[in-house]
C-alpha cells in the first residue's frame, strides 16, 4: 500500500478508543480492500481487524500504523501478531460480516479454554488416583469470591458471540440503575469496580466497554458482562 511521496503524506492524529482484535492474511489472489478512509488499496498481508466505537474496520498494516501511531505495537486480542492465513470461507465472512468473524474468533477462544480446562481436570484425576494410597494433604482454601458472583458466572449468555448481542439499556433506565446503586451500593467489590469504570467512561457498546475493562483491570469479559447484567445496565437484543 502506498500513500505517495513523503512530502505529500498528511500526518493524521491517532484515533483513540479503538482496539486491535486480530491480524490475518489471505491469498494474494484474494486480496481485500483496506477500509481506511481515502485509501481503497487492496491488501493481503498483515490485515488488521479493529473495533473503533461502533464499527469494525479491516485495515492494511500501513493504514493501521498511520491511524493509531504507537498503539500499532499492541498485541491483538485474538491470535498472534504473525498473521493467520484465512481459508476462503473465513475470508468471505471477514469481508461480508466482520462482526460474525470476530464472534467466531471469540467462540474459538472459549473452546480452546474449555479444552485446556478439561485437560487440566484429567491430569488432576490421574494425580488423585496415583495419590489415593497416600494421606491427603490438608485442603487449600479457595480464594474468597465476591458473594454476588455465582459459581456459574461463565454462563453461555456471556460467552463468545453472545457478548455481541447485549446493548446498553435506555438512558432513563441506566440513570435509574446508577441511582439505585448509589443509594444502596450493597454489591461486592467486583460490582464496584465495574460500576466505577462505567461511570468514568461512556462506551458505545457493552462489548467495547468489557474489552477496555479486561485490558486495564485483567477481569474476564464473561464476569464483566454478568456484573453489567446484575447491575441492570445492559439488556439482550432481540435476535
Per-residue pLDDT of the chain (239 residues; tens, 9 = 90+): 332 323 333 334 345 567 899 999 999 999 999 998 889 899 999 999 998 877 899 999 899 988 887 555 678 888 877 888 999 999 999 999 998 999 898 888 888 888 888 888 888 888 888 777 777 667 776 555 444 444 455 678 888 888 888 888 888 888 888 888 888 886 665 788 888 888 766 788 889 888 888 888 788 888 888 888 888 898 988 75
Pairing of strands 18-25, 84-85: parallel
Q: Is residue 94 part of a domain?
A: yes
Number of domains in the chain: 2
How far is the CA of 141 from the CAs of 60, 144, 145, 169, 188, in angstroms? 50, 8, 11, 39, 20
Q: Which residues pair with 23 in a beta bridge?
A: 48
Distance of alpha carbon 7 from alpha carbon 191, whole angstroms:
52
Q: Is residue 177 part of a domain?
A: yes
Q: Is residue 134 part of a domain?
A: no
Query: b or e along 60-74 (b: 16 or more beta carbons within 10 Å of the residue's beta carbon)?
Result: bbbbbbbbbeeeeee
Q: Is residue 139 part of a domain?
A: no
Q: Is residue 64 part of a domain?
A: yes
Check residue 89 and give its pLDDT.
92
Residues 12 and 90 in one domain: yes
Q: Which residues pair with 141 in a beta bridge?
A: none
CB-based contacts of 134, cutoff 8 Å, min separation 6: none
Check residue 33 and give its pLDDT.
92
Give the domain-ending residue among 78, 102, 126.
Answer: 102
Give the domain-ending residue among 102, 124, 144.
Answer: 102
Distance of alpha carbon 71 from alpha carbon 120, whole angstroms:
35
Q: Is residue 80 part of a domain?
A: yes
Give the domain-ending residue among 79, 102, 125.
Answer: 102
Check residue 5 and give its pLDDT.
29
What is the span of the domain harbouring residue 208? 156-236
Check residue 15 and give its pLDDT.
52
Residues 10 and 93 in one domain: yes
Q: Is residue 144 part of a domain?
A: no
Q: Is residue 227 part of a domain?
A: yes
Amino acid at each position: 500500500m502506498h500513500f505517495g511521496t513523503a512530502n505529500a503524506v498528511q500526518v493524521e492524529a491517532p484515533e483513540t478508543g479503538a482496539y486491535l482484535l486480530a491480524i490475518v492474511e489471505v491469498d494474494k489472489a484474494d486480496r481485500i480492500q483496506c477500509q481506511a478512509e481515502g485509501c481503497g488499496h487492496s491488501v493481503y498481508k498483515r490485515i488488521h481487524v479493529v473495533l473503533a466505537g461502533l464499527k469494525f474496520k479491516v485495515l492494511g498494516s500501513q493504514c493501521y500504523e498511520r491511524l493509531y501511531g504507537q498503539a500499532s505495537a499492541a498485541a491483538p486480542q485474538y491470535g498472534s501478531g504473525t498473521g493467520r492465513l484465512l481459508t476462503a470461507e473465513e475470508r468471505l465472512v471477514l469481508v461480508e460480516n466482520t462482526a460474525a468473524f470476530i464472534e467466531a474468533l471469540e467462540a474459538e477462544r472459549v473452546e480452546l479454554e474449555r479444552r485446556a480446562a478439561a485437560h487440566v481436570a484429567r491430569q488432576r484425576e490421574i494425580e488423585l488416583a496415583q495419590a489415593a494410597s497416600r494421606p491427603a494433604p490438608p485442603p487449600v482454601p479457595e480464594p474468597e469470591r465476591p458473594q454476588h458472583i455465582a459459581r456459574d458466572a461463565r454462563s453461555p449468555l456471556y460467552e463468545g458471540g453472545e457478548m455481541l448481542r447485549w446493548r446498553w439499556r435506555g438512558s432513563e433506565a441506566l440513570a435509574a440503575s446508577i441511582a439505585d446503586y448509589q443509594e444502596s451500593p450493597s454489591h461486592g467489590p467486583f460490582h464496584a469496580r465495574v460500576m466505577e469504570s462505567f461511570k468514568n467512561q461512556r462506551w458505545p457498546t457493552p462489548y467495547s466497554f468489557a474489552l477496555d475493562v479486561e485490558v486495564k483491570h485483567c477481569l474476564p469479559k464473561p464476569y464483566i458482562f454478568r456484573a453489567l447484567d446484575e447491575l441492570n445496565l445492559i439488556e439482550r437484543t432481540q435476535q
